Structure 1
Amino acid sequence: MSERPVLCVGALVWGPDGRVLLVRTTKWRGLWGVAGGKVEWGETLEQAVGREFREETGLELHTVRYAQTQEAVLSPEFHKPAHMLLVDFFARTDQTEIVPNEEIAEWRWLELDKAQSLPLNTFTRTLVELAQKLEQA
């Protein structure tokens, strides 16, 4: 276990048809969320989210913009004890074909208003709610 918080990035991504991508990973105890991961030394946050998406889904992102920052301290939803700073983004992609790595167990493209129908982890639920508020503004 790390003695310091781990900096992580993730993004809610819209595909070319306006649907968003949600994934079920091995790290969130069967809950759904967004792809993402740790920021590496020397990377900007935007570079990290682009790299993580390429590695986990095969997608290239564009129109990446900051959404929010959340803190996950010993979340029981996560597969191990961890203290993470989660920097969330909104982004777009022109692709829909997913090439999953070993972390992605399942994925779905769906309308934003249908995202809450999946068992989302708490942090993704907050991100989806923010996107819905901004869409209505």
Structure 2
Amino acid sequence: MNRPLVCVGALVWGPENRVLLVRTTKWRGLWGVPGGKVEWGETLEAAVRRELAEEVGLHLKNVRYAQTQEAVLSEEFHKPAHMLLVDFFAATDDTAITPNEEIAEWAWVPLAQAPSYPLNTVTRTLVALAAQAARA
């Protein structure tokens, strides 16, 4: 029996108050945030720290929960999947990216410019939440 995959991702602010966006091989050319699957026995925060280190070489600080979303058979994803996506906000002191094989392109952008990128739907929601929090 197939079950939903639990995944984590983070919208990360760098030292110049820009956020990291990445284009991955898994979202059909759309941009998003780094992340991936939670491993057995791993906390959500440990998973997001590990995934960001593996995918882009960043060490996170100020990791905080942002929201939970679902992606059920999203046509934007490269294969049929049911994912429970736990999103975080975080910061880093680094801007140098060490991409793994999943990262095709990346950019550090002001949060206000992020919606101008062709974002996947779940990242668009996360960026909107961050913008709303910034205005509050």
TM-score, scaled to structure 1:
0.98
Give the C-alpha shift of residue 126 in structure 1. 0.1
Secondary structure of residue in 1 paired with 2:41: coil
- 1:24 Cα shift? 0.1
The one-letter amino acid paired with 2:43 is T
Aligned residue identity for 2:24: T
Instruction: Kindly state the Cα deviation for residue 112 of structure 1 after the two structures are TM-superposed.
Output: 0.1
Q: Which residue of the partner structure matches residue 108 of structure 2? A: 109
Q: Aligned with 2:122: secondary structure?
A: helix
Partner residue, 1:49:
48
Cα distance between partner residues in 1 of 2:35 and 2:60: 12
Task: Kindly report structure 1 stretches of 4+ aligned residues shifted beyond 3 Å.
Answer: none
Q: Give the % identical residues.
A: 75
> How far off is 1:36 after superposition?
0.1
Alpha-carbon distance between aligned partners in 1 of 2:65 and 2:57, rounded to the nearest angstrom? 21
> Which amino acid counterpart does residue 28 of structure 1 have in structure 2?
W
2:125 pairs with 1:126: yes
CA RMSD of aligned residues (A): 0.6
Helix, strand or coil at the partner of 1:50: helix
Structure 1: 5+ residue runs without aligned partners? none
TM-score (norm 2): 0.99
Give ranges in structure 2 of 5+ residues lacking alignment: none
Matching residue's letter, 1:12: L
- SS at structure 1 position matched to 2:29: coil
Aligned residues: 136
- State the shift of 1:73 in Å: 0.2
Aligned to 2:71: 72
**Counterpart residue number, 1:90:** 89
In 2, distance between residues paired with 1:85 and 1:37? 11
